Amino acid sequence: DTAVSQTPKYLVTQMGNDKSIKCEQNLGHDTMYWYKQDSKKFLKIMFSYNNKELIINETVPNRFSPKSPDKAHLNLHINSLELGDSAVYFCASSQDGDRLGEKLFFGSGTQLSVL
Amino acid sequence: RKEVEQDPGPFNVPEGATVAFNCTYSNSASQSFFWYRQDCRKEPKLLMSVYSSGNEDGRFTAQLNRASQYISLLIRDSKLSDSATYLCVVNPGSARQLTFGSGTQLTVLP
């Protein structure tokens, strides 16, 4: 019954590899997000995506690419992993994305370690 | 200047204590404000929204000062279960633009 679920929970991989993180929400929300939480605990938005548009954060390297087969799923593909990509990645969703005061629902996070 | 700044702490307080956290934001156009709670190795969860008139939810009180661009969270009668990191979140326009502070760590001691 988890509202926002992401897999895997832990991901350990070598530099240069390509990996994916999957996310699914069963809340019927229109907007989904990927956030990165670094070692200093800052949560930074990477992407938001809804039926209408994909919003790309310009600070995110193009090695990161979101893919949304439908509005309930938003996967994150990462190519040519680098040491600095090590972080916790959170998927989240919200009802609409455009309204003030919207609550975000987060997945439990994927801890990525690049060796 | 960071968009959202918080004292990282840690705040170590005894059970039953009252503790307050402040958060400042730089974007004067910010329109909505929140406190999220994040337990160790868990996802953030909404604790409460912060309204202009101030609002209270049980032992938690949130206040907003637009003129000085800060928000605060007051926790009364601290419980062990309040131990967590409290994230100040500011929204200048839409949910897509939410800006998170780095969090204030609270440990409530028995």
What are the backbone dihedrals phi and psi of residue B82, each rounded to the nearest 5 degrees, phi first?
-80, -10
pLDDT at B69: 94
CB atoms within 10 A of CB A60: 16
Contact A91, A4 (CB under 8 A): yes
Number of Cα atoms under 13 Å in the Cβ half of residue B102 = 13
A101 touches chain B (CB under 8 A): yes
Judge residue A70's burial from the number of C-beta atoms within 10 Å of its C-beta, 0-12 exposed, 13-18 middle, 19 or more buried. Answer: exposed
Report whether pLDDT(A111) > 90.
yes
Largest CA distance in chain A: 41
pLDDT at B96: 66
Q: What is the mean pLDDT of residues A29-35?
A: 91
Contact B49, B31 (CB under 8 A): no
Report whether pLDDT(B91) > 90.
no
Mutate to test the interface with B, among A9, A99, A104, A105 (most CBs of B within 10 A): A104
pLDDT of B12-38, one tens digit each? Answer: 999 999 999 999 999 888 888 999 999
A42 touches chain B (CB under 8 A): yes
Mutate to test the interface with B, among A9, A106, A108 (most CBs of B within 10 A): A106
- Residue A82: alpha-carbon gap to chain centroid: 17
pLDDT at A97: 65
B-side interface with A, Cβ within 8 Å? 31-32, 36, 41-46, 49, 85, 87, 91, 93-96, 98, 100, 102-103
Closest CA to A42 of B40, B87, B10: B87
pLDDT of B46-72, one tens digit each? Answer: 999 998 888 999 999 999 999 999 999
Judge residue A15's burial from the number of C-beta atoms within 10 Å of its C-beta, 0-12 exposed, 13-18 middle, 19 or more buried. Answer: exposed
DSSP A10-63: EEEE-TT--EEEEEEE-S--SEEEEEEE-TT--EEEEEEEESS-EEE-TTS-TT
pLDDT at A22: 97
What secondary structure letter does DSSP report for A85? G
pLDDT of A50-107, one tens digit each? Answer: 876 787 777 899 999 999 988 899 999 999 999 999 999 999 998 876 666 678 899 9
DSSP chain B: --SEEE----EEEETT--EEEEEEES-TT--EEEEEEE-TTS-EEEEEEE-TT-EEETTEEEEEETTTTEEEEEE-S--GGG-EEEEEEEESSSGGG-EE---EEEEEE-
